Every structure is written in C-alpha cells, then in structure tokens.
A and B are shown apart, each in its own frame.
Chain A
Amino acid sequence: MRVVIVEDQALLREGITALLREAGIDVVAQAEDGPGLLRIVAGHKPELAIVDVRLPPTFTDEGIRAAIEARRRQPGLAILVLSQYVEPVYSAELLDSGESGVGYLLKERVGDVTGFLEAIERVAGGGTAIDREVVTELVRARTPRAAQSGLDALTPREHEVLALIAEGRTNAAIARELVITVGAVEKHISSIFAKLDLPASDDDHRRVLAVLAYLGASG
C-alpha cells in the first residue's frame, strides 16, 4: 500500500512513519502543509493520504480543505484525517467529499496500533473509519425518541459494542478493543438485535439496521 503523510509536527510525523514502516506499510512521501499534500499526491499517486487537520500557515482547518481538494484532483484517493479534536462538522464535510474511503480519527488512536492499522486497511479499501467520539456525539444527538426506548434498554457494554459496530469494526476487532472473547461479542450483538426488535435475517443486514437505529436513520 502506498501512503503519504502530511503532518507539520516532526515528532508525530516521524512517529507515524516509524509505526507504519514497522507494519510493512510503504510511506512513499511526507509533507508539512496543504500545498505539500497536493504536490506529493500529484507526484506519487498514493492510495491513501494521512493528513493532520491543523497545518501551516493558518493552523486552523487547512488539512481538511487540502484533503478535500486532493480528493477532487485525484478521485479514488482514500483520506485518513488525524486531529487532536474531532468536530462533527468536519466529519460531515469529509463524508460528503467523495465516494472513496474516508477516515477521521483522533491522533491518540494511533497508539492503539492494531486498531489504527485496521482503520487504515478499511479506509484504503474504500470503507470508513469515523472516530468513536464523533459517533457517540452524533448518536446522542440524532437518536429519535422512538428508537430511544429500545436503546435505553441496552446495557452500557451493549452500547459500547453498538458504537464500535457503528464505527465499522468487525466482531474480532470489537473483541480486541473491549478485551473480551469473540463469543462474548456475538452474545452482546444478538442481545442488541433482540432489544432493538430486529428481525432474524442475515447478520450483516441486521448490523446495518442496528446502526441505523442507533444513528436515528439520519434522514
């Protein structure tokens, strides 16, 4: 996988690069600002760009703007935005910016190496990885009262499991995150399905329905 990194703080840029190289991911170029991203995307044709939100010269949301622009110029480029804070406003802009993979994670998630590498795989494969903090806030904000009653019946653990499903995690990833067995995860999930009164059809479909209930079918 060909990856480029845009991060103005050398400490973090080197940290992420080292971590990816140890995992056998090819970091083909690095840049420190928005124009740098556009340059290396044009030059190296990467599959994935990992971009910090705050970049010089304004140190505001340059990264988001540059990532959206890079995507416009190279459709199909997967974008993983890293930030020290998450804003639902930015996640919406990123999700609206194209069809290819999008990720928006807090920087500290990089410390969870396995989870971070999974997120990279998912985004590079065209999927999404939205930070659970954004998911939680959107969920709290969007849940309509009808679905709320079903959701209220969930235990805190089941809430955690459902939030992880909403992030796009697999059962194995959820098990690792919560330090429980895959069997326990499956038990939680079937309990969630039961409480949300989801029909017994194929599992993937029910997963989607559960997440939709969770996100309040935001439409």
Chain B
Amino acid sequence: MTGERADHAGPTRAAAPRGGSRAERVFSFAVAVAALVGLSSTIIWAAAGFGYYWPCWIWLGCAGAIAVIAIWLHFRSLPQGWRRWLVGQTDLSVAVGLYLLAIWLFTGTHGFWPLWPLSSLAQALVLHVLIFYRDRLPLLRGRRLRARIDTLTRTRRGAVDVQAAALRQIERDLHDGAQARLVALSMQLGRAEVRLADRPEEAALVRAARQEASAAIAELRDLARGIAPPVLADRGLEAAVRSLAERSPRAVTVNAERQPQRLAPAVEGAAYFVVAEALTNVAKHAPRASAKVTIAQRGDRLLIDVTDNGEGGADPAVGSGLHGLQARVEALDGTLTVISPAGGPTVIHAELPCES
C-alpha cells in the first residue's frame, strides 16, 4: 500500500525541478533494491513451504524507506515558503497513517487502535491548514479588510495631499524660474528697444521678440492658474471664490461663511475647481442666468452649492468637466450631486470631508 503510493507520487514530482535526473536515479535504485529484497524473501518463503506470509514485514520496511525518500524529494522540489511545510506535513501524515494502517492489518485487526495516532495526526494537520488559510476565515477576514480599508483611505488621502502640494510647488517653481527669466528677458529686450530708437527696423524686430516673450509669459500664467490658482494658495478658498465671481461674465453672488482656519490644500483645490467649473458652465450655457455660490461648514463636512437660474439640463455624463470633478471630489471621499431638470434651475452640490 505504502509502496504503491510512493511509486505514484514520488518520482514524477521529484523529477521535475532542479537535480531531477539524480533524484530520479536514487529513487529508481531504491525501488529496484526494495523489489529485489521483497521478491527474494517471497521466493524463500515459498521454498520454505508457504505458511504465515512473514515477508509482508520486509515489504513494509522497504516501502517505509521508499516513502521517506519520496517525501524528501517532493519536499525539495517545492518552492521556498510556508506552503512547502504544509505540503510536507501532509505527505508525512498520510505516509505515517498508511504505515500504521498496514501494521494494524498485518497484526490481525484487533480493535482499531490506530484511531488515536491517526486523529492526532489529523488534528495537527487541520490546525496547520487553519493557520495557513486564516485570511479566508470570515471573522479574521472582516478585521483584515477593515484594516486594509483604513490603510487605503489613509494612503490615498496622503497621495492626494502630496499631489496638491506638488501642484503648488510646480506653480511656485514656474513663478520663480521660467516666468521670472522670461520677465527679465522681456525687460532687457525693452531696454534694447529703447536704445534702438533711431533704427526703426531693428527696433521693430526687438519689439516683436518682446511680444513673443509676453505671449509665452501669458501662456505660463494661464497654465499656472489652471493647476494651482495663486490667490487660492495666498488667501484661501473664500477669497479665491470671490475672485472667480469677479471674473465671471454673469452676475454671481457669493455667500461664504468665513473659515475658522485654512483647509487642507487638496480640499481647497477640489472645492475651488467645483465652483470654477460650475461658473464656467453657467457662462457657457446660460447667457441670461445669474448664479449663487454658497460655502458652509457643517461639522467636519464642507458644503458647496452653486445654483443658477438658467435653463437646466446639465448632465455630468456629457462632457468631461463635471465628470472629472466628480473623480476629484470622490478621491477625497466627498460627493458631487448635479440636479438640473429641464427648464432649470441647476444646483451643483458638493460635500467634502474636512478636519477642523
């Protein structure tokens, strides 16, 4: 019985990875020796006139030796890690169990005594399996999932904050670097232009160069405003929203509760761009509308409402503006709701968590 199992499981597995051929040779040799010993003892038993089949003990001894070799080879062929030990224990438990059963059979099946060692082996194996697969246990799984959600929430928030800080840094670097150099360039071109007053053609060339520099500065300025509006970094959300209202071609009233303290840059940024996008939409799609912006803080939630009395019919699914905002707000565990029935009014409501 044991020999049979070793024949099937051992060599095929052991032959697979490193040192396969040598392991296979060792195993084949062991099997050959076992077969020789077993057969010769059987012949001697037959020559001695049959009787009690004592060579069964010889077979059993050989099978045990082969099983040990097979288990060792199998163990060696498995990749490093905990799983290897679990499989090793399983192999060993099965082999020992079968060995005990064989002894029980050969000794005349008096009372099923292998029950006790077998149940010990089984308990040890079950315990190991439980430890190995503990992540899939419902109780522990819930706890681990909660811990994972906590980690993800924290790291995502960290990533969003890092991103907001990085954007402000980019704005500052542009301001102190490329923009400042272009301004210095434009000044020098201006001075050259003055000195070329008596040579109009050259002066015109220099003037054209200066205007190019100015255009580059203007583009950089728009870019910087798009990524991190300076007034938002300087004065905070309320001032930045009032600035947006001032710039809007529509009549916009701002009703903002004064914030007791500055919000996190990521929250300020998201709130600002919600209002900016909403007001841009009003300017674009509602030529006769006026808008109202309300900013309030309720507990640890920042509430932003932009209402306009236009024709309504805004759909976040159409156009990437509102959709992109939704992603931005949701990345902060906030919500963005757009209520815009045909005929208006349109209400854009955003809630953002903010610690205060």
Chain A residues engaging chain B, CB cutoff 8 angstroms: 9, 11-12, 15-16, 18-19, 22, 54, 59-61, 84-85, 87-90, 106-108, 110-114, 116, 137-138, 140-141
Interface range, B side: 35 or more
Confirm or deny: B155 has a beta carbon within 8 angstroms of a beta carbon on chain A.
Answer: no
Confirm or deny: B231 has a beta carbon within 8 angstroms of a beta carbon on chain A.
Answer: yes
**What is the CA–CA distance of A55 and B249 in the complex, to the nearest angstrom?**
32
Q: Are the C-beta atoms of B230 and A113 separated by less than 8 Å?
A: no
Q: Are the C-beta atoms of A85 and B243 separated by less than 8 Å?
A: no
Residues of A contacting B176 in the complex (Cβ-Cβ under 8 angstroms): 9
The interface residues of chain A, by DSSP majority, are classed as helix
**What is the CA–CA distance of A12 and B248 in the complex, to the nearest angstrom?**
32
**What is the CA–CA distance of A84 and B187 in the complex, to the nearest angstrom?**
13
Q: Are the C-beta atoms of B181 and A11 separated by less than 8 Å?
A: yes
Which of these, B189, B224, B243, contacts A88 with CB under 8 Å? B243
**What is the CA–CA distance of A114 and B181 in the complex, to the nearest angstrom?**
21
Given A89-B242, A89-B243, A141-B246, verify A15-B194 contact (CB < 8 Å).
Answer: no
Q: Could you tell me the distance in whole angstroms from the C-beta of B14 to the nearest C-beta in chain A? A: 70
Chain B residues engaging chain A, CB cutoff 8 angstroms: 172, 175-176, 179-184, 186-191, 193-194, 210, 213-214, 217-218, 221, 224-225, 230-231, 233-235, 239, 242-243, 246-249
Which of these, B187, B191, B246, B249, contacts A12 with CB under 8 Å? B187
Sample (23) of A-B pairs whose CB atoms are under 8 Å apart: A9-B176, A9-B180, A11-B181, A11-B184, A16-B187, A22-B191, A84-B175, A84-B179, A84-B217, A84-B221, A85-B224, A87-B230, A88-B247, A89-B239, A108-B183, A108-B218, A110-B186, A111-B190, A111-B210, A112-B190, A113-B190, A113-B191, A138-B246
Residues of A contacting B182 in the complex (Cβ-Cβ under 8 angstroms): 108
Given A60-B233, A85-B224, A108-B217, verify A15-B172 contact (CB < 8 Å).
Answer: no
Q: Are the C-beta atoms of B231 and A141 separated by less than 8 Å?
A: no
